[in-house]
Chain A
Amino acid sequence: MNNKEPFVRMTKRTTITRKEAILIRALAVVLSLIVCALVIVSMTHQNPMQVYGGIIKGAVGSNRRLWVTIRETMVLLLISIGLTPAFKMQFWNIGAEGQVLVGGLASAALMIYCGNSMSGGALLVLMFLASIAAGLVWGFIPAFFKAKYNTNETLFTLMMNYVAMQLVTFAIIFWENPAGSNTVGIINSSSRKGWFPSIAGNPYLLNVIIVLGFTCLCYYYMKYSKHGYEIAVVGESQNTARYAGINVKRVIIRTMMISGGICGLAGAIIVGGASHTISTSTANGRGFTAIIVAWMAHFNPFVMILISGFLVFMQQGAIQVATQFGLNENASEIITGIILFFLIGCEFFINYKLEFRKKSREVA
């Protein structure tokens, strides 16, 4: 038998000050950047500082790039906001992708069919409502089956993504422009009907206003409203919720409709406020990335601003890096991956602390 004290033991922390937690996270970021630098040097023999510089330049290097980064951040943020109520209720909604797509599809349809018959303002309002309604339906369906038959929401919402994609593929057949291109092209490129108007000369300011508005609303809703309280109770324990007289089924369905509705609105913002077109890759995986954002922020909407901003920053930087250094776009993915690894990994050190053997105690 080995008679030495164990070399290292882990113990659960009972308390940690906010300062310590921030320090640990900051340390994780620094460490991850060092590791990234090592990876860059070993694989590409480039100066890592230059690569980092390239990322920064690509993301915020010019006014236009800065606004593209902000625009993409807002989309990712809104989807994360939409996921928050569902995840807080421990309803694993991985169907944001599909909810965004059907929302976008509804907006695109209105832009195409009503673009000539309505004023721009009325069309925009209608687009918002229709997109929210479409996402809401996409959220309602899995929630209904979950509440009624206790189906697995993870599989259900995932499958709904593919249904949404097929719907978009189907719509493209009718909306093809130019014919034979198998794409929809820019919708209303001359009339600009259904496009978000520029505010103060800036084409993306409306996106920012809407999304930040929803961020504040979501914060209030989750933290102070009765609904938010119900969601938290249902998420923690359905038994407790039933005991408190909460109608669990109703809360599940209502919350998923809200969740889906917000994701649907994100679809409208993409189609009306950014791409002005629709394709199966309109959501582009952001429905999944948003899950990471929401979890890492511990469902705090304001922290989500930072995290979605960071992820988009890295993505936009990647495009620049790819052209400037002849690197594959995946280089930035690797860097993002390493940083996320450290950030998520450091949660362990926030919850646990390691105790090393103080001196070697031995027993005869």
Chain B
Amino acid sequence: MKQVTKTFGKVIANDHVNLVLNKGEILSILGENGSGKTTLMNMLSGIYFPDEGHIYVNGQEVMIRSPKDSFALGIGMIHQHFKLVPILTAAENIVLGLPQKGKMNMKQIENDIQELVTRYGFDMNPSEKIYDMSVSQKQTVEIVKVLYRGAQILILDEPTAVLTPQETEKLFDVLRNMKKDGKSIIIITHKLNEVLEISDRVSVLRKGTYIGTVDTKDATVSSLTEMMVGQKVSLDIHRSDPVNPQKRLEVKDVTCRNKEGTVVLDHASFYANSGEILGIAGISGSGQKELLESIAGLQDMETGEIRYITPDGKDADLNQLTASEISDLGIHLSFVPEDRLGMGLVGSMDLTDNMMLRSYRNGRGITADRKAPRELAQKVVDELEVVTPSLSTPVRRLSGGNVQKVLVGREISASPTVLMVAYPVRGLDINSSYTIYNLMSDEKDRGVAVICVGEDLDVLLELCDRILVLQSGRVSGIVDARSSNKEELGLMMTGDYKKEDAVNE
């Protein structure tokens, strides 16, 4: 790709970007959120058309006008969100949409797929239905799909975001096999350790511009961070020892079902202390959301009780209280769900109106007070360096990181006694991530009981005091973050972990 530019309105998503992918290599594209990685790849896969610049494949200049053109050139993209039909089998999904005359020979197709699967060392059964598969198996289906269609160039958009450390290892093995076979692979990610582990070269984007490409063997975590951010950043999370921890929240035997009636939280019990950060780890969808929501009074529980012990030693049974009463007690949920604006913020409303989501009832009369929220919005914008055209911009227009800052800023501003956050830094750039981590540490030092659902195990291990691991709705264990490690957490996240093993070791 040479001098490729793409603009959306006034926003320049890619500004004269150059990129070279060699045959048989793995290239990482690294950049913070909003740096234009995905946009660039979408131009390769035919979803967007570049405003300027040229794209060459095997030395020939090409015009990629649609995903079909992209396929014809042997480019296959694996998106973050899978596009599979759950009631069909893997093989059926793979051939779906392929032009074929006459009768389909499913047997033959399955054999062909099986051959691909064994060649690259995938773990997949072509005749299994999608709805029976785990997330990593679904991802496998997506990869096999583009391979089956003859892709020579594979683009993977944040493939490891949904995987456990063990599954990530497996994926990387497969990718190495494909590399040996002469396939070229582009992998988009922002996890630096993975970049160093898997790729041959790294190209870095920053705010839509191309910064440069380095050989992975010459790169380190800090040199890559510097390229991404443009300045040296300290990657230390300040972690103090808990001072005078007191039991603040006790969760006993909580079971919840989701709308479909499946058990999503299975007899979960734990407690959270003041002045401590309790991390919650687990593959996404293991019950984290339900756990936090039941504490916040947003989720009906089948069994169990949740007790809140106030700083002056009184007891409150949260089961009896409504969401707003729980919030009045100082228990705050700053939930950052999968679709950032689904809960916690109202996308079409501006910053001021979002600030008052919790507090709009304050004051007498039927008119809602907008003066205090406006001041608060201004304060959050100033202190957390939120980039916004104005306070009256709908939050939907802000970038993901700024949305997050608005949300977390609002929750912290209410001086909670229990602060629950889920994926607090998802989509944030490195600097802001560390701002948020340190904000949480500050809250902990103030004696707040912080509960943090996270996905980056390295960070959880550095940030938290204790880590609770969820596995399909069950608490598979609580470990001391200072002495535990990634492998142990990874095992606890999948089903292979037995408590006895840990004791015997």
Measured CB to CB, the residues of A under 8 A from B are 1-6, 9, 11-15, 224-230, 232-233, 236-237, 239-240, 242-245, 361, 363-364
Contacts and interface: CB of A to CB of B under 8 A. Distances in A.
Given A229-B353, A243-B343, A363-B61, 9 more contacts: A1-B63, A5-B63, A229-B356, A229-B360, A236-B349, A237-B342, A237-B343, A242-B323, A243-B296
Given A3-B63, A229-B353, A239 B342 contact: yes
A236 B324 contact: no
A236 B342 CA distance: 9
Interface in B323-344: 323-325, 327, 333, 335, 341-344
B49 A224 contact: no
Interface in B1-29: 8-11
Most chain B CB within a 10 A radius of its CB, from A2, A14, A243: A243
Contacts of A226: 360-361, 366-368
18 contacts: A1-B63, A5-B49, A5-B65, A14-B8, A14-B11, A15-B10, A228-B368, A232-B349, A236-B347, A236-B348, A237-B342, A237-B343, A242-B323, A243-B298, A243-B333, A244-B358, A245-B323, A245-B358
A232 B366 CA distance: 15
A42 B179 CA distance: 68
Contacts of A240: 342-346, 357
Nearest to B323: A245
Nearest to A12: B8
A4 B347 CA distance: 39
Given A225-B366, A240-B357, A243-B296, A6 B65 contact: yes
Contacts of B357: 233, 240, 244
B62 interface: yes
Contacts of B360: 226, 229-230
Nearest to B11: A14
B335 A9 contact: no
A225 B368 contact: yes
Interface residues of B, number: 39
A236 B346 contact: yes
Given A236-B346, A236-B348, A225 B63 contact: no
B388 to A, nearest CB: 13
Most chain A CB within a 10 A radius of its CB, from B10, B69, B348, B367: B367
A13 B9 CA distance: 6
B51 to A, nearest CB: 8
Given A236-B347, A244-B357, A6 B366 contact: no
B328 to A, nearest CB: 9
B322 interface: yes
B72 interface: yes
Contacts of B342: 237, 239-240
B111 to A, nearest CB: 31
Nearest to B325: A245
Most chain B CB within a 10 A radius of its CB, from A1, A224, A236, A244: A244
Interface of B: 8-11, 49, 61-63, 65, 69, 72, 296, 298, 322-325, 327, 333, 335, 341-349, 353, 356-358, 360-361, 366-368, 397
A359 to B, nearest CB: 12
Contacts of A11: 8-9
A232 B394 CA distance: 13
Contacts of B8: 11-12, 14
Most chain A CB within a 10 A radius of its CB, from B72, B347, B348, B360: B360
Contacts of B9: 11-15
Given A5-B63, A229-B353, A239 B366 contact: no
Contacts of B324: 244-245
Nearest to A228: B368
Nearest to B327: A245
Nearest to B349: A232
B432 to A, nearest CB: 22
**Which 9 residue pairs of A and B lie closest in terms of their CB atoms, listed nearest first?**
A245-B324, A14-B9, A239-B343, A226-B368, A244-B357, A236-B346, A245-B323, A363-B61, A225-B366
Contacts of B335: 243
A148 to B, nearest CB: 16
A245 B11 CA distance: 37
A242 B324 CA distance: 9
A24 B236 CA distance: 53
B393 to A, nearest CB: 10
Contacts of A229: 353, 356, 360, 368
A237 B323 CA distance: 16
A245 B346 contact: no
A341 to B, nearest CB: 27
Contacts of B72: 1
Contacts of B353: 229, 232
A231 to B, nearest CB: 12
A225 B367 contact: yes
Most chain A CB within a 10 A radius of its CB, from B353, B368, B397: B368
A237 B343 CA distance: 7
A63 to B, nearest CB: 40
Contacts of A228: 368
B336 to A, nearest CB: 12
A364 B61 contact: yes
Nearest to A5: B63
A242 B349 contact: no
A307 B292 CA distance: 47
A363 B62 contact: yes
Nearest to A221: B366
A6 B49 contact: yes
A364 B54 CA distance: 13
A3 B296 CA distance: 57
B63 A363 contact: yes
A11 B353 CA distance: 29
B367 A224 contact: yes
Given A3-B63, A5-B49, A6-B65, A245 B322 contact: yes
A309 to B, nearest CB: 28
A7 to B, nearest CB: 10
Contacts of A236: 346-349
A230 B324 CA distance: 14
A2 B72 CA distance: 12
B367 to A, nearest CB: 5
A242 B348 CA distance: 17
A244 B335 CA distance: 12
